[in-house]
């Protein structure tokens, strides 16, 4: 059993001191008004890290801006899961550096999963001299110290700070956070991953699994509920392994029950579940918790046993279907979603068709679908991959067509029902399924159902940040439209 490494309280106190020192140095550099632009790419874990960075920046006297042109500090929190996310980052970093010509004193930094990889850190160091600092995922809690190091450059001499070498993951409690305003909050319960799926870079850049103490999680959940959040998502790469590295603490089903027993009217979600650890005990726990949404995101990746084995997923198609069937019995209204990879090295068309048949069998309401992307350091990147990209694109489109069918059927079944919806903000209606125009004093809202389906509906200009009832009148294959019902 591994030992969870919590950053000592004295070290966190030292970082708080650096926040104060940065504040003084930044006053001297920019005057008292300064803005920071923080952009997080990728998954919810990165979004959550971005909220901590925003919290530390606020302590240093920055306001946050969503316009990089108005920023005195630009920070990109990067994602390494697929190549296209990486390419995007190199593009925006180049643009950020060019802004230095017009914006005196502008600071540019990089953090997140890409920066934890040695080849990326080297490329940034050598080919992007305008980047002032780079910190790997394990250095996040040392951001104030790192920024202070940069600010120590004097007499026209710049100082660049690179902190990506630390190899072990830690847990840092007691840092400030600025969460996105709204009704939904992310609550990390663990970090890292022990699974080493052969295509995946996450264990290489996020380190081994480590769980937060349940007392810290529950205290944070209570603060969030008191602050008015109505939906809490428990985050981890494989939440079902929560607590395995802790002695005398809860496991994931117990943690779910503990959060469920907190007072208040709120929803609980969790992501992501690994099918190999999604046990009947977990399903039973969900069934016994009325606040846990009946939505299970259970990434299957492939419907072929040979490919699943090559991916090192540790379950078979049959075992996966067994757990889905158990869940359908225990949670008759449960909704399933999944992640799929198309074109894993060596996958044949016949094997791909097994994935399509599995999608039809499970009848997912929606899917996140990806074409395999080779990642530096992952086993799959070294496997022979003879299928050409155009062929993989054709398979990908076939997959989307199958998904549209099952998704549409799922969404259409909601028409005529009245569903509980948590309004989040402005509706977009790009799907064009709501053919009514808001009247005076009204606007189009967007919210989500317990099953994580997007609903657009017309309502008054302002709504209290609370659940509403919406009668569903129309469906597309990824969104619903409806009419607000009187409370």
In the complex with ligand SF4, the residue whose CB is nearer, 202 or 246, is 202
Write down how long the chain is: 487
* Contact window for ligand SF4 (CB under 6 A) among 32-40, 43-51, 196-204, 213-221: 196-204
Q: State how far the Cα of 43 lies from the Cα of 48, in Å rounded to an integer.
A: 9
244 binds ligand SF4 (CB under 6 A): no
Single out the residue of 111, 202, 340, 453 in contact with ligand SF4 (rule: CB under 6 A). Answer: 202
385 binds ligand SAH (CB under 6 A): no
* Contact window for ligand SAH (CB under 6 A) among 86-94, 207-215, 371-379, 462-470: 371-379
* Contact window for ligand SF4 (CB under 6 A) among 26-34, 63-71, 125-133, 195-203: 195-203
48 binds ligand SAH (CB under 6 A): no
The answer to whether the beta carbons of residues 252 and 241 sit under 8 Å apart is: yes
Q: State how far the Cα of 323 lies from the Cα of 463, in Å rounded to an integer.
A: 39
Q: State how far the Cα of 114 lies from the Cα of 202, in Å rounded to an integer.
A: 10
Cis preceding-peptide flag for 272 (omega within 30 of 0): yes
Tokens of 481: 């439209």
Residues 293-322 binding ligand SAH (CB under 6 A) are: 299, 301
The answer to whether the beta carbons of residues 387 and 396 sit under 8 Å apart is: no
User: Residue 233: which of ligand SAH, ligand SF4, none does it interact with, CB under 5 to 8 A by kind?
Assistant: none
Single out the residue of 117, 137, 241, 272 in contact with ligand SAH (rule: CB under 6 A). Answer: 272
378 binds ligand SF4 (CB under 6 A): no
Q: Tell me how far, at minimum, the Cβ of 274 lies from ligand SF4, in Å.
A: 5
Single out the residue of 76, 242, 364, 372 in contact with ligand SAH (rule: CB under 6 A). Answer: 372
Tell me which long-range contacts 476-479 makes (C-beta under 8 A, separation of at least 24). 476/408, 476/411, 476/431, 476/433, 477/403, 477/404, 477/407, 477/408, 477/411, 478/366, 478/407, 478/411, 478/431, 478/454, 479/411, 479/431, 479/433, 479/453, 479/454, 479/455
User: Strand 454-460 and strand 479-484: pairing?
Assistant: parallel
Single out the residue of 81, 187, 300, 387 in contact with ligand SAH (rule: CB under 6 A). Answer: 81
Burial 146-168 (b: 16+ CB within 10 A, else e): bbbbbbeeeeeeeeebbbbeeee
* Contact window for ligand SAH (CB under 6 A) among 100-108, 121-129, 368-376, 435-443: 368-376
Cross-strand pairs, 35: 63
In the complex with ligand SAH, the residue whose CB is nearer, 326 or 370, is 370
Q: Tell me how far, at minimum, the Cβ of 240 lies from ligand SF4, in Å.
A: 10
Single out the residue of 50, 136, 203, 236 in contact with ligand SF4 (rule: CB under 6 A). Answer: 203
In the complex with ligand SAH, the residue whose CB is nearer, 128 or 370, is 370
Which of these, 133, 136, 131, 130, lies nearest to 148 by C-alpha position?
A: 133
314: left (phi over 0), alpha (psi -120 to 50) or beta: left
Q: Tell me how far, at minimum, the Cβ of 290 lies from ligand SAH, in Å.
A: 26
Q: Which residues bind ligand SAH (CB under 6 A)?
A: 81-82, 199-200, 202, 237-238, 272, 274, 299, 301, 339, 341, 370, 372-373, 375
């Amino acid at each position: 059993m591994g030992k969870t490494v919590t950053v000592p309280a004295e070290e966190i106190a030292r970082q708080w001191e650096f926040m104060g020192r940065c504040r003084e140095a930044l006053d001297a550099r920019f005057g008292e008004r300064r803005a920071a632009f923080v952009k997080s790419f990728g998954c919810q874990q990165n979004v959550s890290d971005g909220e901590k960075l925003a919290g530390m920046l606020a302590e240093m006297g920055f306001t946050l801006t969503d316009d990089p042109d108005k920023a005195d500090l630009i920070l990109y929190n990067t994602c390494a899961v697929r190549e296209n996310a990486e390419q995007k980052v190199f593009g925006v970093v180049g643009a950020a550096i060019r802004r230095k010509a017009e914006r005196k004193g502008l600071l540019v930094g990089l953090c997140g999963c890409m920066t934890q990889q040695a080849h990326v850190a080297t490329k940034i160091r050598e080919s992007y001299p305008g980047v002032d600092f780079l910190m790997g995922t394990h250095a996040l809690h040392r951001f104030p110290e790192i920024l202070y190091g940069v600010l120590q450059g004097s007499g026209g001499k710049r100082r660049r700070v690179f902190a990506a070498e630390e190899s072990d993951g830690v847990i840092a409690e007691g840092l400030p956070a600025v969460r996105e305003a709204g009704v939904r909050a992310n609550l990390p319960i663990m970090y890292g991953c022990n699974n080493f799926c052969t295509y995946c870079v996450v264990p290489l850049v996020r380190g081994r699994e480590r769980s937060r103490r349940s007392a810290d999680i529950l205290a944070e959940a209570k603060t969030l509920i008191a602050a008015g959040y109505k939906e809490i998502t428990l985050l981890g790469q494989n939440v079902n392994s929560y607590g395995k590295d802790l002695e005398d603490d809860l496991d994931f089903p117990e943690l779910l029950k503990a959060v469920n027993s907190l007072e208040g009217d709120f929803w609980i979600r969790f992501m992501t579940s690994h099918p190999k650890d999604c046990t009947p005990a977990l399903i039973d726990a969900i069934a016994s918790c009325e606040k846990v949404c009946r939505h299970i995101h259970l990434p299957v990746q492939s419907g072929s046993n040979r490919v699943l084995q090559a991916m090192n997923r540790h379950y078979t198609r049959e075992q996966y279907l067994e757990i889905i069937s158990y869940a359908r019995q225990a949670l008759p209204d449960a909704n399933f979603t999944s992640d799929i990879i198309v074109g894993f090295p060596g996958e044949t068309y016949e094997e791909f068709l097994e994935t399509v048949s599995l999608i039809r069998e499970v009848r997912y309401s929606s899917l996140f679908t990806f074409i395999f992307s080779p990642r530096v350091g992952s086993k799959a990147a070294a496997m022979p991959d003879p299928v050409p990209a155009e062929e993989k694109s054709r398979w990908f489109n076939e997959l989307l067509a199958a998904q549209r069918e099952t998704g549409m059927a799922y969404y259409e079944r909601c028409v005529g029902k009245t569903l509980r919806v948590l309004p989040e903000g402005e509706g977009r209606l790009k799907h064009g399924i709501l053919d009514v125009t808001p009247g005076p004093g009204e606007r189009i809202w967007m919210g989500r159902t317990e099953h994580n389906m997007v609903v657009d509906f017309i309502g008054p200009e302002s709504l209290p940040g609370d659940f509403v009832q919406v009668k569903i009148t129309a469906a597309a294959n990824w969104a619903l439209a409806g009419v607000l019902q009187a409370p």
